[in-house]
C-alpha cells in the first residue's frame, strides 16, 4: 500500500501534482490552523476521495518544529508495514523542514514539486518537475548521547566551533581525545564538516546536522 504524507499550505496544486506523479492509495494531509490551509485540506480530500483515494486530515502547529515531527512519526508508526512517502512542497518552511527531517530519521522517500515553475516550463511534465530528495539513512538511535550533545552545542554556537576540541572540553567536560573521536564519527555521518586550521579543528554543522541538532536542542 502506498501511503503519502503531504504538508498543506495556501495552494492545493502541489498536492494534486504529487498524486499525479506517484501511485497513491492513501493520503494523509497535514494542515495548520490557518483557515485557508484547513479549507484546502478538506477540498483536496473531497476531490481525491471521488477518485477513490482514501484521505485522512490532521492538524499540526505550523510553527512548532517538534509538533510536526511527532505527528509524522505517529503516522509512520500507524502504517509501519507500508511504503511511505512525504510531499514537502506545501505549508510553512517549518512544516517542510520538520517533515524533511522526519524523512531523514525514518528513511522515507521525500519529494517536492517545483510548483512555481509549472507555468514557465510548458515543455516539462509534472513528473519532470518532481524532485526526489536524497535522504541519508541515518538512524537517530545510532547517535550516542555525547554526539547528540555535541550537535546541540554546535547549533547553539551559531552552527560553528572555531576551536572544537577546546570548546567541547570547556563546555561539555569532554576530554579532547574523546571529543576528537566523536567529531570524527559525526563527520563520517555527514552531520558536520571538519577543517584543520593549524592546531585547531573547525567544526561546522551541515544542513542535515543542523536539522538533527534542532531535535536535540531544548
Domain-wise residue ranges, the chain: 2-133, 140-216
DSSP states along the chain: -EEEEEE--S-SHHHHHHHHHS--SEEEEEE-SSHHHHHHHHHHHHHHHHTT-EEEEEE--TT-HHHHHHHHHHHHHHTTTSEEEEE-SSS-HHHHHHHHHHHHHHT-EEEEE-GGGTTT-TTS-TTTTEEEE------GGGS-HHHHHHHHHHHHTTTEETTHHHHHHHHH---HHHHHHHHHHHHHTTSEEEEEETTEEEEEE-HHHHHHHHHH--
Second-level CATH architecture of 140-216: Orthogonal Bundle (1.10)
Cα–Cα distance measured from residue 199 to residue 138, given in angstroms and rounded to the nearest whole number: 30
Q: Look at 104 and 164; give whichever has higher pLDDT.
A: 164
The confidence band for 207, taking pLDDT boundaries of 50, 70 and 90, is confident
**Residue 54 phi, psi dihedral angles, 5° rounding:** -70, 140
pTM to 2 decimals? Answer: 0.66
- pLDDT by residue (tens digit) across 22-50? 999 999 999 999 999 999 999 999 999 99
Residue 64 has pLDDT above 70, yes or no: yes
CA-nearest of 164, 154, 171 to 198 is 164
Give the per-residue SS3 of 125-152: CCCCCEEEECCCCCCHHHCCHHHHHHHH
Q: What is the CATH number of domain 2-133?
A: 3.40.50.10770
Q: What phi and psi values does residue 192 have, to the nearest 5 degrees?
A: -140, 165
User: What is the average per-residue pLDDT within 125-146?
Assistant: 76
pLDDT above 70 covers a percentage of the chain that reads: 91
CB within 8 A of 159, min separation 6: which ones? Answer: 204, 205, 210, 213
Number of Cβ within a 10 Å radius of residue 69: 22
Question: How many whole angstroms separate alpha carbon 205 and alpha carbon 192?
Answer: 4
Question: What pLDDT band is residue 211 in, cutting at 50, 70 and 90?
Answer: confident
Residue 29's pLDDT is what? 98
Amino acid at each position: 500500500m502506498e501511503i503519502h504524507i503531504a504538508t498543506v499550505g495556501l495552494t492545493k496544486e502541489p498536492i494534486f501534482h504529487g498524486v499525479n506523479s506517484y501511485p497513491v492509495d492513501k493520503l494523509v494531509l497535514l494542515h495548520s490552523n490557518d483557515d485557508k490551509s484547513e479549507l484546502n485540506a478538506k477540498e483536496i480530500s473531497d476531490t481525491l476521495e471521488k477518485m477513490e483515494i482514501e484521505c485522512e486530515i490532521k492538524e499540526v502547529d505550523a510553527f512548532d518544529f517538534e509538533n510536526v515531527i511527532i505527528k509524522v512519526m505517529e503516522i509512520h508508526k500507524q502504517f509501519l508495514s507500508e511504503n511511505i512517502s512525504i510531499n514537502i512542497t506545501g505549508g510553512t518552511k517549518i512544516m517542510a523542514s520538520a517533515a524533511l527531517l522526519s524523512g531523514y530519521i525514518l528513511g522515507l522517500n521525500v519529494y517536492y514539486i517545483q510548483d512555481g515553475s509549472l507555468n514557465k516550463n510548458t515543455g516539462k511534465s509534472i513528473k519532470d518537475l518532481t524532485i526526489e530528495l536524497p535522504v541519508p539513512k541515518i538512524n537517530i538511535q545510532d547517535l550516542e548521547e555525547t554526539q547528540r550533545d555535541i550537535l546541540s552545542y554546535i547549533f547553539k554556537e551559531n552552527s560553528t566551533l572555531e576551536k572544537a576540541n577546546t570548546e567541547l572540553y570547556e563546555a561539555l567536560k569532554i576530554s579532547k581525545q574523546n571529543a576528537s573521536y566523536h567529531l570524527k564519527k559525526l563527520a563520517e555521518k555527514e552531520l558536520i564538516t571538519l577543517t584543520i586550521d593549524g592546531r585547531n579543528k573547525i567544526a561546522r554543522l551541515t544542513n542535515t546536522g543542523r536539522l538533527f541538532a534542532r531535535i536535540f536542542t531544548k
